[in-house]
A and B are shown apart, each in its own frame.
Chain A
């Protein structure tokens, strides 16, 4: 029999601790599939965040480092400067990247650090029990916004990709979703493009994944994907925010 889909060897055999339907598993897999296809599994260093994906280093079959909450971009900057021939990435959630780690990610982009950030945006703090995140939508209920997030009290949800794409040092920023097979294929292409731009040394790259948290959203797995399509995508439109022009060189 000819294999047409096998689980990538970029992932370890360890079962993940994520809730059923959590799209972390899909994001982990497509990143590792791309590295495997590029033959770079042995040449990559990842930085894991604090949040649900704090154990990512147990699942991803590459060298990994753990960073303090929100400080993955600072650690990755150091690793990439010391090892300019390696592929370096950070894997961060929205509480990690858009809240406590905002300064680190903005200044990593300003300095044009040549690593890739994978930003998992599910609009809530998953690990700590469903508190409101900076990316929680208006009207969305969480344990710290029980009547729904209000604009007067909490402001509008922050659009990190749009914000970072205005910075010169950020050369490639794209927002993708993990809600359907078509979007997952699209996301995989974006991941590959980001790694290729990093290898060319053009600058900072970021891919934002619209993700789900069925446990804290209080939805079934399939309903959570519908919520992403109906509520999340209209506010966070998919697409390329900025990309290098043809002929750009380091």
Chain B
């Protein structure tokens, strides 16, 4: 079973929730924290459910999401 690591850059995020709206697995939630721009940035709530479809990263207008595939030996 492949697993993925989602990296969100909260300082870039504008909290538009487009990533959350297109995620087929409901992986993404909005943080309770506020970022320096004043938005609630997106974060990975259920990273283990991620299937690596990249829909969130394709939709993100601000380049706030990076996706990595975990390999053997990764934490």
Contacts and interface: CB of A to CB of B under 8 A. Distances in A.
A221 interface: yes
Interface in B13-60: 14-18, 21-22, 39, 52-55, 57-60
B15 A181 contact: no
A11 B70 CA distance: 26
Contact of B58 (A6, A16, A24, A185): A185
A181 B66 contact: no
Given A1-B5, A181-B58, A184-B58, A29 B63 contact: yes
B66 to A, nearest CB: 5
B65 to A, nearest CB: 7
A20 B12 contact: no
B68 A1 contact: yes
A21 B5 contact: no
Nearest to B55: A181
A1 B66 contact: no
A22 B12 CA distance: 14
A22 B14 CA distance: 10
Q: Specify the main secondary structure of chain B where it touches its partner.
A: loop
A245 B37 CA distance: 49
Interface string B1-18: 000110000011011111
Nearest to B64: A7
A2 B4 CA distance: 9
A235 interface: no
B48 to A, nearest CB: 15
A122 to B, nearest CB: 13
Contact of B63 (A7, A185, A221, A225): A7
Contact of B71 (A1, A26, A225): A1
A198 to B, nearest CB: 24
A23 interface: yes
Interface string A206-240: 00000000000000011001000000000000000
A55 B15 CA distance: 22
A14 B43 CA distance: 21
Contacts of B55: 181
Contacts of B63: 7-8, 11, 25, 29
B22 A180 contact: yes
Interface in A170-187: 180-181, 184-185
Contacts of A181: 22, 53-55, 58-59
A5 B61 contact: no
A224 B15 CA distance: 15
Given A5-B66, A5-B67, A222-B21, A22 B5 contact: no
Interface of A: 1-8, 11, 15-16, 18-26, 29, 180-181, 184-185, 221-222, 225
- The 5 A-B residue pairs with the shortest CB-CB distance, nearest first, are A25-B61, A20-B14, A21-B16, A20-B16, A1-B68
14 contacts: A2-B68, A3-B66, A3-B68, A3-B69, A5-B67, A7-B63, A21-B61, A26-B58, A180-B59, A181-B54, A181-B59, A222-B17, A225-B18, A225-B21
